[in-house]
Amino acid sequence: MQSIFKDWKRYSRLFVCLTLIWSCTSEQEKSQKIQGYALGTSYSISYVSNTLTPEHLTQKVDSLIEVINQSMSTYISDSDITKINKGDSLLVVDDHFVNVYRKASEVWKQSGGFFDPTVGALVNAYGFGPGKSLNTVSQFQRDSLLTFTGWSKTKLTEQRTIQKQYPNVYFDFNALAKGYAVDVLASYLKSWNLDSYLVEIGGEIVAKGKSPRSGEFWKIAIDDPQQSDERNFIRTITLQNQALATSGNYRKYAINEQTGLRIAHSINPITGEAIPTKVLSASVLAADCMTADAYATALMVMPLEEGRKMIETDSSLEAYWIVSDSKMEMKELFSSGFPNNE
């Protein structure tokens, strides 16, 4: 199945370790788990049910992912988003596209434009794709690409068509559609009235209820960004009917020789620059995974203090940053309500 996500996104994600050892909680409720590949990465779904079989759920996952891909995959030549990127202004988009578009508009506004799904052309210009070296982009090139960058240059009409100020404006929903897919799968599990499940796609997670193994809320281990060959974890997070998403730049970067700071893979959509940053990763807790996914991406681009202020003023969000200084020493920062005692 083709992926909705460009491979460069794999470098930007902080993968979350899910150690899920299952046992039956009762004769009436069976612990189940399915795993597979979707959206260019792996997925894992664990749940408790004696009516929803793994075979049925696997088939449903495949069908739901296929529909989402057909709506928003830039890798499919006849997908809705590909047609829109090629200039189709009459195509009526589906509910999935509408949901993602509206969330993108919300986070674009709340982040002051730092979150922008039209930044794809700049990302490619800097060479942040798979196997590519980091490029130098001239001011002239940036100015040219910025002409076709900007969420305000797009519009979702009442007829559910997409208008673009310039034909070359390019949509790429990498930064929130994987989280959205997690929400769609979680919604399907909810429709079965399940009390306990955990859905994960490429490290983006929604959890409900408690683990049948421990009887406690689900615990998720987050990777240490300074690990080498051996996998290490920096923190364990408890999810109490919440979603978690993490973005990071520690796998794809260059070093500024003057400041010692990393040049992030995240592109500032306002200036068109690959900005120096102290942020190695940002994790966001939210009620749904699409929201967490989008804000985690925004925090990678925003100035650190602006990002912290944005999170603190929204009671529905909590965040956790891993940052480094010019000596590459690492420290953790937390929003006021983020669980930081684990």
**What's the chain's Rg over C-alpha atoms?**
20
Residue spans of the domains in the chain: they are: 8-334
Q: Is 320 helix (H, G, I), strand (E, B) or coil?
A: strand
**What is the band of 137 on the pLDDT scale with cuts at 50, 70, 90?**
confident
**What is the band of 28 on the pLDDT scale with cuts at 50, 70, 90?**
low
- Please tell me the predicted confidence (pLDDT) of residue 181: 98
**Which whole number is the average pLDDT over 132-141?**
78
Side chain identity, residue 154: T
Indicate the pairing of strand 162-164 with strand 262-267.
unpaired
Token pair listed for 137: 């982009």
Q: How many CB atoms lie within 10 A of CB 230?
A: 6
Residue of higher predicted confidence among 33 and 13: 33
Q: Is 244 helix (H, G, I), strand (E, B) or coil?
A: strand
Q: What angle do CA 267, 270, 274 make, to 5 degrees?
A: 25
**Which whole number is the average pLDDT over 123-127?**
81
Q: How many CB atoms lie within 10 A of CB 125?
A: 19
- Please tell me the predicted confidence (pLDDT) of residue 341: 60
Overall size of the chain counted in residues: 342
Is residue 110 exposed (0-12), middle (13-18) or buried (19+ Cβ within 10 Å)? middle
Q: Given a cut of 70, is residue 6 above it in pLDDT?
A: no
- Please tell me the predicted confidence (pLDDT) of residue 48: 96
Q: Which of 28-42, 93-107, 296-310 has the lowest mean pLDDT?
A: 28-42
Supply the pTM of this predicted model.
0.88
Q: DSSP character for 247?
A: E
How far apart are the C-alpha atoms of 170 and 172, rounded to whole Å?
Answer: 7
Q: What is the mean pLDDT of the chain?
A: 86
Q: Given a cut of 50, is residue 186 above it in pLDDT?
A: yes
Provide φ and ψ at 89, rounded to 5°: -105, 5
Is residue 157 exposed (0-12), middle (13-18) or buried (19+ Cβ within 10 Å)? exposed
How far apart are the C-alpha atoms of 135 and 252, rounded to whole Å?
Answer: 12
Beta bridge partners, 287, equal: none
Domain 8-334 has CATH 3.10.129.10: no
CA atoms within 13 A on the CB side of 130: 6
- Please tell me the predicted confidence (pLDDT) of residue 327: 66
